[in-house]
Structure 1
Amino acid sequence: MRRSLMKSISTFAVVVVSMIGLGGNATLAQSYPDKPIRFIVPFSVGGGANIIARIIAQKMSDDFRQQVVVDNRGGSGGIIGTKMAVEAEPDGYSIALGLPATITVAPSLFKKLPYDPIKDLVPVGMVGTSAYILSVHPSMPVKTVKDLIWLAKARPGEINYASSAVGAGNHLAAELFKSLTKTNMVHIPYKGGGAALVAVLSGEVQVIFGSKLTVIRQIKAGKIRGLGVTSASRAPEMPNLPTIAEAGVPGYEVDVWFGVFVPKGTPQGIITTLNREIVKIMNDDDIRTKLANRGFEVRTSTPESFAKMIQSEAVKWAQVVKESGAKVD
């Protein structure tokens, strides 16, 4: 009898504790946010990631009635900023923007990555996709992708290309291009997409696989020349610009997705609140139009479907990195 009574009391205690935990989580989600949120961008000001984050942050600030502050922490191919997000308190007041370079490519590319982005970060939701445009300085005597391939083969090691950083998405896009075309162009890494683009605009470097978010305006202004887009289909904003695949490099395709993440351990209620807000923001007509004009395709998701996509992407990029032999110390 005594043993039965003690067992009943223990069971009751577990149920009560569980209910308190669930109630606390729900209360936390209902009051969230009640102070400013830090939005970590693991790249410097001036690149495509920065543009996306600031558009989201402004609308989120308005909706939440709390300031959402973009914190650009570029360096080491996005590792510095992503590590900061991993180590942040899992309370919903530190969120981060993630891209393939920092989430699905980094584990295979970097020999000594100080975190596991797939295990240490939790996907909140996808916000959309974009691509790169193979672009050159106007002084380059090339008008097409085939022209560039011919020139690069005629002058091996003499043509330089800029990237956002070692291991960045546009670095890998360029290396894939070199591999498929059997050309030799020299990699010049910069501290962020903005600095890399400035280098090409000034003629310091001749070639860049620039984010559509930043180079479309420069191409239309005649400051650089676009040769081809890295995606599988042409960019609606520049329908006369061919894909690199159709322009002479069969099988070439590189897309880049953008998504929001939080540190592992963040309450599920807060993740749900953030996902709901991101879906709302990205489906706002004004924001969709603004981003479409910059070459960005809005694509939202649930946390669960985003997590599945990341898992499959990690497998794909692990194979690509292995085949390329690329490694960063």
Structure 2
Amino acid sequence: MRKSRLALIAPIVSFCAALFSAPGQAQTAYPDRPVRLVIPYAAGGSLDVVGRVLAERFQAQTGQSLIVDNRGGAAGQIAADYVARAPADGYTLLLGTAAQTSIANAYFKKLPYDPMKDLLPVSLLVNTSNVIFVTKDFPAATIEQLRQQVKDHPGEVSYGSPGNGSVSHLATALFEERTGMKMLHVPYRGAGPALNDLAAGRITLLFTLLASAKPVMDSGKVRALAVAGPKRNPSLPDVPTLQEAGIQGADSGVWIGVMAPKGTPDAVVNKLNDIIMTALQAPDLRKRLADTGADLDPMGPKEFGAMLTQDAKTWKDVVTAAHIQME
């Protein structure tokens, strides 16, 4: 009798063991299929460069592809909303910036997602200063000469951005407020298209990262006017900072980090962070990012989350100080 009971219980015990061990096994195996990395801007911009470099290391480490998916528009909100609504399983990620999170939280009145709740910080990759680029034929060679050009040609000096509410847009608006300039804003669907028009002379100026502008700068079609940061860019040793040009309180930069939909299991988030942190230690990746002017600033989920909270306050103060109209 006892033997027959054990025979009946054994399959139940085995089923329960398999049921409760399955999630752990799935997490341990992550990733067991390709992962999608959504880039919130068109190809050719700073994020696209960083994302594709990361994708190469990701595949080398995991054996799985990291598929770069460019979804531009609405300052990256289309991409951010897509990721926010994706299954929380670690297979759809956002390579995001402040524009989709802390800036969106400060700038826009209505959004299809909650910027500070629906996206989970995974890893911060880089945090680097903007550079002010102008078209090669623009007569100004200094910030003071730029100021004079704006004064002498009202309504003619234009600046591009990857979209309303982007880091570039708010950074330039803050620069205008600090210098008393007023330029014409021309929004694009990403840094790449804006750079193309800058190189063609259709716009005058663009705040962006060296990572995205380097190819057109090396071709001689655009040139750097100033660095919007506390120190000169090592790749641009002869280009002064805004502070050196006498402009205070106009520094701005771009951080780039990987985010996941809220509810993504901690085990998956931690595994992702481990993969990314290992990738950032690779000498070839570090060199390639450094060559583009990106400043590596690795952070895990907790540090990244704390930075994001502070960043939201900073940009809210910027929007208020620069009297930028929220949409």
Q: TM-score, normalised by structure 1?
A: 0.91
Structure 1 residue 219: Cα displacement: 2.8
What letter matches 1:242 in structure 2? P
Aligned to 1:146: 144
Percent of aligned positions that are identical: 34
Aligned to 1:316: 314
Match of 1:40 among 30, 38, 41: 38
- 2:30 and 2:208 map into 1 onto residues whose CA distance is 37
Aligned to 1:279: 277
Aligned to 1:235: 233
Match of 1:293 among 269, 291, 294: 291
Moved over 6 A (4+): none
Match of 1:62 among 51, 60, 63: 60
> Cα deviation per residue 1:206-234 (whole Å; 9 max; x = unaligned)?
11113211223433432212110111110
Match of 1:89 among 68, 75, 87: 87
Structure 1 residue 102: Cα displacement: 1.0
Aligned to 1:265: 263
Aligned to 2:170: 172
Structure 1 residue 202: Cα displacement: 0.4
User: Secondary structure of 2:298's match?
Assistant: coil
Query: Any gaps of 5 or more consecutive residues in structure 1?
Result: 1-16
Asked if residue 105 in structure 1 is aligned to residue 132 in structure 2, the reply is: no
> Cα deviation per residue 1:181-201 (whole Å; 9 max; x = unaligned)?
101110011121110001010
Structure 1 residue 299: Cα displacement: 1.3
Q: Does the 8 Å contact 2:108/2:326 carry over to 1?
A: yes
Q: Does the 8 Å contact 1:59/1:281 carry over to 2?
A: yes
User: Secondary structure of 2:72's match?
Assistant: coil
- 2:221 and 2:57 map into 1 onto residues whose CA distance is 31
What letter matches 1:224 in structure 2? V
What letter matches 1:171 in structure 2? H
Q: Does the 8 Å contact 2:174/2:318 carry over to 1?
A: no
Structure 1 residue 251: Cα displacement: 2.5
> Cα deviation per residue 1:264-317 (whole Å; 9 max; x = unaligned)?
111111111100010011111111111101100111112111101101111111
Aligned pairs, number:
312
Q: TM-score, normalised by structure 2?
A: 0.91
Match of 2:156 among 146, 155, 158: 158
Q: Does the 8 Å contact 1:111/1:327 carry over to 2?
A: no
- 1:214 and 1:292 map into 2 onto residues whose CA distance is 13
Aligned to 2:251: 253
Aligned to 1:137: 135
> Cα deviation per residue 1:10-59 (whole Å; 9 max; x = unaligned)?
xxxxxxx9xx76x5443222111111111111111111011111111121
What letter matches 2:289 in structure 1? L
Q: Does the 8 Å contact 2:129/2:253 carry over to 1?
A: yes
Structure 1 residue 242: Cα displacement: 0.6
- 2:226 and 2:200 map into 1 onto residues whose CA distance is 21
- 1:275 and 1:266 map into 2 onto residues whose CA distance is 13
Structure 1 segment 65-84 matched on structure 2, within 5 A: 65-84=63-82
- 2:81 and 2:326 map into 1 onto residues whose CA distance is 17
Q: CA RMSD in A?
A: 1.8
- 1:151 and 1:234 map into 2 onto residues whose CA distance is 24
Q: In the superposition, relative to structure 1, how do residues 122 and 27 fare at CA in structure 2: closer, same or farther (>3 Å)?
A: same
Aligned to 1:14: none
What letter matches 1:270 in structure 2? V
User: Secondary structure of 2:67's match?
Assistant: strand
> Cα deviation per residue 1:74-108 (whole Å; 9 max; x = unaligned)?
10010000000000000111111110111110011
What letter matches 1:98 in structure 2? G
What letter matches 1:271 in structure 2? V
